A and B are shown apart, each in its own frame.
Chain A
Amino acid sequence: DTGVSQDPRHKITKRGQNVTFRCDPISEHNRLYWYRQTLGQGPEFLTYFQNEAQLEKSRLLSDRFSAERPKGSFSTLEIQRTEQGDSAMYLCAALGKTNTGELFFGEGSRLTVL
């Protein structure tokens, strides 16, 4: 157990619909990351937060994507007007307190856009 929970684990939606994923790290994790992983590939960085501040966003994060971490604890990733190319595993990760750079990943939210 990495202490990072993601919900839902699976989401199937029709093209054009909006979806939202939630990530709950344990309270000691002040840095939170979102990655996307497509089949056969390694995870790709999307964005990260230091407490409630969103410090960096990848070019992969189009304007249809928005991430928030309103109270510096849980985070949400919303995708508006989903496209088939959005189908992927969305992974949340939190930086541990050991100062090693170790990221603790959640189990991911698998999105399928029909």
Chain B
Amino acid sequence: GENVGLHLPTLSVQEGDNSIINCAYSNSASDYFIWYKQESGKGPQFIIDIRSNMDKRQGQRVTVLLNKTVKHLSLQIAATQPGDSAVYFCAEGHLGNEKLTFGTGTRLTIIP
């Protein structure tokens, strides 16, 4: 199958632990941010989004934090599971025009 991101930054986390994936975005005018998960051989899968008028948003086991001052985005995954192993991308853009700019991915590996 597709082997995405052979030379990506990597993060290894013990199963059950929490993980934090960081992303620096480039455009201070971006008002919409999304985290995607991409498993080998598959297209990106939406995880969670956040608008620029917020600094934190929580989903099921995931939390996204946005720091507009330093143009930083993070994804926290609680109680990681083997199925969380994938490449994670942040993306920025404008709500209403989903011409997203994707960041460099991070390969997350969950150690059983």
Contact = CB atoms under 8 A, between A and B. Distances in A.
Tell whether A and B belong to one assembly: yes
Interface of A: 2, 4, 31, 33, 37, 39-45, 48, 56, 89, 91, 93, 95, 100-108, 110
Q: Is the interface of A mostly helix, strand, loop or mixed?
A: strand
Contacts, number: 73
Interface in B55-95: 89, 91, 93, 95
A107 B99 contact: no
B21 interface: no
A107 B43 contact: yes
A91 B98 contact: no
Interface of B: 2-8, 32, 34, 36, 41-46, 49, 89, 91, 93, 95-96, 98-105
A95 B98 contact: yes
Contacts of B100: 43, 45, 103
A44 B105 CA distance: 13
Given A40-B7, A40-B8, A110-B2, A103 B98 contact: yes
B49 A91 contact: no
Nearest to A95: B98
A46 to B, nearest CB: 10
Contacts of B43: 2, 4, 91, 93, 105-108
A91 B6 contact: no
A41 B4 CA distance: 8
A101 B93 contact: yes
A35 B34 CA distance: 16
16 contacts: A2-B45, A39-B4, A39-B5, A40-B4, A41-B102, A41-B105, A42-B89, A42-B103, A45-B100, A91-B43, A101-B96, A101-B98, A103-B44, A103-B100, A105-B36, A108-B43
